[in-house]
Amino acid sequence: MKHEPVSQQPQLGESFPDLTVQTSHGELSLPDEYENEWFVLFSHPGDFTPVCTTEFVAFQQRYDEFSDLGVNLIGLSVDRVHSHIKWIEWIEEELDEQIEFPIIADDTASVARRLGMIHPKMGTSTVRTVYVVDPNGDIRLQLQYPMEVGRNIDEILRSIRALQTTDEENVAAPANWPNNDNFGDRVLLAPPSDMNTAKQRKSDAESDEYEYRDWWFCLKDRE
């Protein structure tokens, strides 16, 4: 499965670029290593830094939840693989967490630059970037956090669950789904794309399949 480069920084809906990377688990080819699987690639400014350490522990503590969703984790920073190995050892010894996912050693920053993870005002440190890539190798979510703020793992997991649900059921997820204050875990039908469909939706307003608020705003229970 080949993916041609599309831009300096891949955008939502584009293919994740083909990359060969060195990691704490050996050489990997992305996205082929996770063909037909989801993966989350997240960068951190540097090993042996406090916020990054808390993030890696947090990702590891939710490792089983990612696995249950069929999602692979892979980290990245502009450090050498020896630094990653020593940092992993420190985390296990001092914080009693064994990091199970690979970390890309990008000491030349070539991968980080290809993925738009280097901010011009931050030297060579990678900003806290998250890419969520689907089984087709397409980028479905991008997040960036400042260096001084750690990521919210709950939000990353929530977003993946929402993406998987909307894909499977051909619906949309409302704000804060599945805990929307007004609609709970119900989902939204996609707005009609033509007049006939809009009229049909109105005529079906009494259907038990969904709750009609207007032709463009209809709710349904999850399948």
pLDDT of residue 160: 98
Distances from the Cα of 7 to the Cαs of 2, 45, 68, 119, 187, in angstroms? 15, 23, 32, 17, 33
Q: In the predicted model, is pLDDT for residue 3 greater than 80?
A: no
Indicate the burial class of 180 (C-beta count within 10 angstroms; 0-12, 13-18, 19 or more): middle
Looking at residue 207, which CATH number applies to its domain? 3.30.1020.10
- The answer to whether residues 139 and 175 belong to one domain is no
Please provide the DSSP assignment of the chain as one string: ------SSS--TTSBPPPEEEEETTEEEEETGGGTTSEEEEEE-S-TT-HHHHHHHHHHHHTHHHHHHTTEEEEEEESS-HHHHHHHHHHHHHHH-----S-EEE-TT-HHHHHTT-B-TTSTTPBPEEEEEE-TTSBEEEEEEE-TTS---HHHHHHHHHHHHHHHHHT-B--TTTTSBTTTBT-EEPPPPSSHHHHHHHHHTTT-TT-EEEETTEEEE---
pLDDT of residue 124: 66
Q: Last residue of a domain, which of 97, 119, 152?
A: 152
Residues 19, 51, 52, 71: which is the catalytic one? 52
- The answer to whether residues 101 and 211 belong to one domain is no
Question: Is residue 157, in this structure, part of any structural domain at all?
Answer: no
- The answer to whether residues 34 and 144 belong to one domain is yes
- The answer to whether residues 140 and 218 belong to one domain is no
User: Catalytic residue at 52?
Assistant: yes
Looking at residue 83, which CATH number applies to its domain? 3.40.30.10
This prediction has a pTM of 0.90
Domain that holds residue 208: 170-223
> What confidence tens digit (pLDDT) does each residue in 19-59 have?
999 999 999 999 999 999 999 999 999 999 999 999 999 99
> What confidence tens digit (pLDDT) does each residue in 89-148 have?
999 999 999 999 999 999 999 999 999 888 766 666 788 999 999 999 999 999 998 888
pLDDT band at 83 (very low <50, low <70, confident <90, very high): very high
- The answer to whether residues 124 and 208 belong to one domain is no
pLDDT of residue 4: 43
- The answer to whether residues 174 and 210 belong to one domain is yes
pLDDT of residue 117: 87
- The answer to whether residues 182 and 96 belong to one domain is no
pLDDT of residue 202: 79
- The answer to whether residues 47 and 126 belong to one domain is yes
Question: Is residue 5, in this structure, part of any structural domain at all?
Answer: no
pLDDT of residue 54: 96
- The answer to whether residues 221 and 147 belong to one domain is no
Question: Is residue 6, in this structure, part of any structural domain at all?
Answer: no
Q: Last residue of a domain, which of 124, 152, 180?
A: 152
pLDDT band at 6 (very low <50, low <70, confident <90, very high): very low
Question: Is residue 210, in this structure, part of any structural domain at all?
Answer: yes
pLDDT of residue 51: 95
> What confidence tens digit (pLDDT) does each residue in 150-199 have?
999 999 999 999 999 999 999 999 999 999 999 999 999 988 889 888 88
Question: Is residue 107, in this structure, part of any structural domain at all?
Answer: yes
Q: Last residue of a domain, which of 123, 152, 181?
A: 152
Question: Is residue 198, in this structure, part of any structural domain at all?
Answer: yes
pLDDT of residue 30: 97
Question: Is residue 2, in this structure, part of any structural domain at all?
Answer: no
Q: In the predicted model, is pLDDT for residue 219 greater than 80?
A: yes
- The answer to whether residues 141 and 188 belong to one domain is no
- The answer to whether residues 106 and 78 belong to one domain is yes
> What confidence tens digit (pLDDT) does each residue in 50-71 have?
999 999 999 999 999 999 999 9
- The answer to whether residues 143 and 213 belong to one domain is no
Split into its structural domains, the chain has a count of 2
